[in-house]
Amino acid sequence: MSIQIPGTAKTVAIAGATGAVGREFITVLEKINFPVKELKLLASKRSAGTSIDFKGVPIKVEEMTEQSFKGVDIALFSAGSSISKQFERAVVDSGAVMIDNSSAFRMRESTPLVIPEINPDDVKKHQGVIANPNCSTIIMLMGVYPLHQKYPVKRVVVSTYQAASGAGWAAMEELKEATRAALAGRDFTPQKMPYKYGFNLFSHNSAIDASGYNEEERKMFQETAKILHDNSIAITATCIRVPVLRAHCESLNIEFTHQAPSEEEARELFKAFPGVKVVDDRQKNYFPMPLEASEQFDCLVGRIRADNSLPGKALNLFIAGDQLLKGAALNAVQIACLL
C-alpha cells in the first residue's frame, strides 16, 4: 500500500482513544510515521487519567470537552454517532477537521464520504467534517472498484462474513469467552451480542426495516452510490456475523454492464490497484483468509472465477480485509494524509 505522508507536522486529536478503533488510530500513525507535532488522546471521564504509549512515550488520556480541540489540526473520531454529533460544532469552530468513523454524517449531503483509493478528490469539498464509510462498504468497494474503472459494473450480490471487531472490544472479548464456555461445555449468557457467539453465526445484529434488510445491508447500498457518484449500480446484500475476531470477509458476485474481464485481466487489474493484494492459488486451494488479513493494511482478493450462470457477463471473487484497519482506522488516517 502506498500512502503519501504529509510534509508538515500536525496536531492530532483522537476521540475515543481507549476503544478498539482508537487504539488502531495510534498504531497506524506510528506505523506510517505520520508527522505528529502533538497527539491528544481523548475519551470519556471514566477513561481519563489512563496512559497509552505513542512511539514509546506514555500519553495521558484526557476527558473530552468542547475545549479539547483548540490548536488541533485533525480530529480522528471513533466514539459513536451521538458523541460525534455532540462535538461536531466544537471541532469545526476550533478550525480542526473532523474525520468521523461513525454513521452520524455519512449520508449528509454536505459531508464527503471517502475511500482514498477511490474518490480522493471528494476530500476537497469538506466543510470541516469528512466521513469514513462503513467497514463492509469499504471492503466491498476495494473488490469492485478496480474492475469497475475499466469494466462498468451493473449489479453486485454480496454476502458478508463479519468479525466481532465491528461491534468493538466488548464483542471481541465476548467471542473469546463464549468459545471457552462452548469448549468447556458451560452455559453462556451473551451480553453484547444477541446470541451465543462461540462456534455460531447469525444475521448481523442491526435493525431490520419493513423491506427485510438490516441497517448494515442498507449502508452498503446507500454509501456505494454516494462514494461512486453513481446510483445505477444495483446491490443486494446479506450480512452475517461470524466467530472471527477482526477481519471481515465478503463473497462478491459482480455482473458487468457490457462484458466481464477475463479472470487473468481481473487479477492484473487488482495487482495494479493500491491497497489490494491478490491471493489466488487454485493449485494449493489457497485464497483470502481472515487470519492472514488481520493486522494487514492491504485487502486480500482471490477465488477470482467466471460466473458460469452468466457466461462472459459476471465474475465471482472473495475478499478479506482487517475491519479495524482498512475498515476503520487506516482509511481515516489515509484521509488525514490527503488533507
Cell triple for residue 255? 455482473
pLDDT of amino acid 2 = 61
> What does the alpha-carbon distance between residue 206 and residue 249 come to, in Å, rounded to a whole number?
18
Cell triple for residue 236? 443486494
CA nearest to 229, candidates 157, 145, 146, 313 = 145
Report how far apart, in Å, the C-alpha atoms of 333 and of each of 139, 183, 218, 317, 337 are. 16, 39, 25, 27, 6
Check whether 1 has a pLDDT greater than 70: no
**What does the pLDDT look like over 307-322, one tens digit per residue?**
999 999 999 999 999 9
Residue-range domains of the chain with CATH? 10-104 (3.40.50.720), 137-323 (3.30.360.10)
Helices (H) and strands (E) in the chain, counts: 8, 14
3-state secondary structure of 65: coil
pLDDT of amino acid 4 = 74
CB count in 10 Å sphere of residue 285: 6
**What does the pLDDT look like over 173-220, one tens digit per residue?**
999 999 999 999 999 999 999 999 999 999 998 999 999 999 999 999
248: annotated active-site residue: yes
Pairwise pLDDT comparison (7 vs 121), residue with the higher score: 121
> What does the alpha-carbon distance between residue 180 and residue 185 come to, in Å, rounded to a whole number?
9
Catalytic residue among 148, 248, 249, 299: 248
Q: What is the mean pLDDT of the chain?
A: 96
239: annotated active-site residue: no
Catalytic residue among 126, 135, 148, 239: 135
**Which pairing describes strands 247-256 and 202-203: parallel, antiparallel, or unpaired?**
unpaired
**What does the pLDDT look like over 146-157, one tens digit per residue?**
999 999 999 999
Encoded amino acid at 92, one letter: V
> What does the alpha-carbon distance between residue 219 and residue 286 come to, in Å, rounded to a whole number?
31
pTM to 2 decimals?
0.95
pLDDT of amino acid 177 = 97
Radius of gyration of the chain from its Cα atoms, rounded to whole angstroms: 20
> What does the alpha-carbon distance between residue 270 and residue 195 come to, in Å, rounded to a whole number?
37
Q: How large is the average pLDDT for residues 317-334? A: 97
Query: Which long-range contacts (C-beta less than 8 Å, at least 24 apart) are formed by 298-305?
Result: 298/1, 298/326, 299/139, 299/142, 299/143, 299/275, 299/326, 300/276, 301/142, 301/143, 301/270, 301/276, 301/277, 302/278, 303/251, 304/263, 304/266, 304/267, 304/270, 304/278, 304/280, 305/263
CB count in 10 Å sphere of residue 198: 17
Tell me if 174 sits within 8 A of 180, measured CB to CB.
Answer: no
Tell me if 255 sits within 8 A of 155, measured CB to CB.
Answer: yes
